[in-house]
Amino acid sequence: MPSVEERLARNEVMFRAINERIRELARRFDVESDPVSFICECSDETCVEKVALTVDQYDEMRALPARFAVMPGHEATPLVERVVFRSPGFVLVRKIGVAADAVLEQWLQDAQ
């Protein structure tokens, strides 16, 4: 049975998969220089908030698999993540501990 930290991380990975598709569509329709509405990548599986980022901002954030963009106030407990950047429109968090391990494991599976 997955730990709470693993479950929270897996919720965020699910949102990330949706955002990857949004990113692909933004590139296909050549709107990557404009802000795009990405899904908040918080751990709340019922969250439907949008985070406005350019595709370049999204790519920079995603350069490290353990980083996620969430709406301000959607940061999880310090048990699973640390805030690495805060702006009025979004917060960039980095998974730590078991949550980081779960994210990395999923990222490696997706890469295969």
**DSSP structure class, residue 34:** S
CB 84 within 8 A of CB 93: yes
Would you kindly state where each structural domain of the chain is located, as residue ranges?
A: 4-104
- How many CB atoms are located within 10 Å of the residue 10 CB? 17
Q: Quote the pLDDT of residue 64.
A: 87
The confidence score (pLDDT) of residue 1 equals: 55
* Per-residue pLDDT tens digits for 75-108: 877 778 899 999 999 999 998 887 777 777 776 7
| Strand residue runs (E) in the chain | 36-39, 50-53, 67-70, 81-86, 91-95
Is it the case that residue 23 has pLDDT exceeding 80?
yes
Widest CA span of the chain, in angstroms? Answer: 43
- pLDDT at residue 104, rounded to an integer: 74
- pLDDT, residue 88, reads 92
pLDDT mean over 39-49: 88
**What pLDDT score was predicted for residue 49?**
95
pLDDT category, 2, cuts 50, 70, 90? low
The per-residue pLDDT for 24 is 93
